[in-house]
Structure 1
Amino acid sequence: MKNTNSKTTKKEFPYRQGTAKAPSEKRIRKFAGRPLKSFNVLYAYATLPIGHILGLPAIASYIFVVANKFFMLQYLQKIHIFHFPVKHVDNELDQKVPFRPDHIDCYLDFINYWIRPIVMMQKRFGIKQGAKLSIEFLRYIKRCYKEAYKMYTYSMTTTYRPKCPESRAVTNVQRADPHYLCVPSLHIVVVCLCYSFYRMLFKRESFTQQESEQWNSELYAQAVAIGETVLYVKQHSVNCIPAALYMLTKITPELFTPQMAVNFINDLFKNSTDITDADKKEINSYIQFMFERLLLEGALEDDWRVPVIRWLDSYKPYEPQ
């Protein structure tokens, strides 16, 4: 007789690495109430490789994928070893979001954003048990990079970026980043993956209501803030966001739903005072329209890229004056 429960669990949690033992009440009380930003990311680098027999291989595999399918892909294109087509995806609505170099620190918080909850788990569950949950997330994030790579090797995408000599951080980002991998935006993919993964995990692992509410709120608020910065610092266009959200609904439907994507879109720039209400509405409406278009066109496709490719092939980019 087939084990249907095992199959259901595998479908719900495809990257689960064993069952984590519940932490003691003492551990729970010790870390409950702490803001995620208070957890030092260096702790993850020190403990995750030794916490589980698969910890080091999981980290090495993730680094290999990111290095080869994101960084090297761009650099080899830049020095003309690779020759993929590169298309601009700028939109006139991008001009309605002001260039804000002061948001660069939030933009660069992208990596620490998803490492901090790993530290929290290592502390709350203990190094060994926490590593099981951390490996599960690393497997998800690796999948995202591999899926985005499939789109990038069809066609690379870029946007116009204003120079900003008065901001060393912005200048350094622009120098270091060849800026060929805009659609889909991995910044958007990863922050939405992160908050949706932990929303699932807090429920599955029976976190307390206080922990769940606090950390879900923190993760979501920071995801939205980072999502806004991709437009504020001109690293992406409004066109890069719906493709990212659509991709995530297709490859991780057990975590990220279309309704979650719509909620995320509606919360972008909600509290911003440097964009008019009319412009906010126009920006968010366009992103939602594009997301729903991709979702509808991709509903019966085996390859999530099909509607994105169709849109990209026909898109005529806006050229800033």
Structure 2
Amino acid sequence: MERTESMPALTRPAGAAPTDPESVLLPGHDVPLGRWTTVRRLLPQRQRRMVGAWCFVDHFGPDDVAQRPGMEVPPHPHTGLQTVTWLVDGEIVHRDSLGNVQSIRPGQLNVMTSGHGIAHSERSPRERPPVMHGVQLWVALPDPARAGAADFAHHAELPTWRSGDLHATVLVGDLDGVRSPAVVHTPLVGAELTFGGTAPATVALRRDFEYGLLALAGSAQVDGTTVAPGSLLYLGTGRDRLTVRAAPDCRLLLLGGEPFDEPLVMWWNFVGRSHEEVVAAREEWMAGASRFGTVADDPAAPLPAPTLPTTRLKVRDRHGGVRPVD
């Protein structure tokens, strides 16, 4: 994946001790997704590539799609990851090479596990709501799950909890004892936090997890830093609670997980462990190999893979450092 990445700003609460967890505000940047959709890419970035096993975060919308096609992403492949799709507004139809055809609407969750290989497409339906707004996230699969079978799950209902003006929906993992039914392969959490008032709200965290917080709508104050749509606040590890002061109707997405220490090669739609592994996946996709299958009920031509760079793809750790090739 080629991108221009901005240097983040380091922030620290006034009077905080040097051993306190630091907050790092990561600005996103716009990336075209197909012909009609532009996303704000928040992960990976140069100095912070992951939050737990969350290795990719795209926030799209809110976009007026009443007179436009909306999302139009033709069949394309994935390896070594899970895609997690969550909508604030609108509707998208997922189709994949396992034969699944599934609409997703706000309050529902799609989780696609690529394993060794899968293909899918994502499109706005012909009859659709006028606004599209949501996120798509990738979760890096660990060994041996990344070499396993592909899978897809749709969750029409998810668990929630409320504390004062704060309402939380748990997308994946466990938050304050409330657990999502979604299957993941590393210790992980993802939750949407919505606010009905301006009183500070506190969420219990795990000290062994690292966390990030992004604004889907409205703005919030955390550690003296404003989190607004278009940025992600990396919160580090070592926290047992998070206190947020948000505007009414603010929506935040909390992502967290146990730090993921397996080095990765991320290029186009593939998450691998070596240059050779990604090259092989690209060659099989371009050759129409059975590894990825055929996307159900989508007559569009598969999306061709871009040309590989002339240099070797770099193996990076979760901080962005280059790992030596074995």
- TM-score tier by shorter-chain length is under 0.3
Which protein has the bigger helix share?
1
TM-score w.r.t. the length of structure 2 is 0.23
Which protein has the bigger strand share?
2
TM-score w.r.t. the length of structure 1 is 0.23
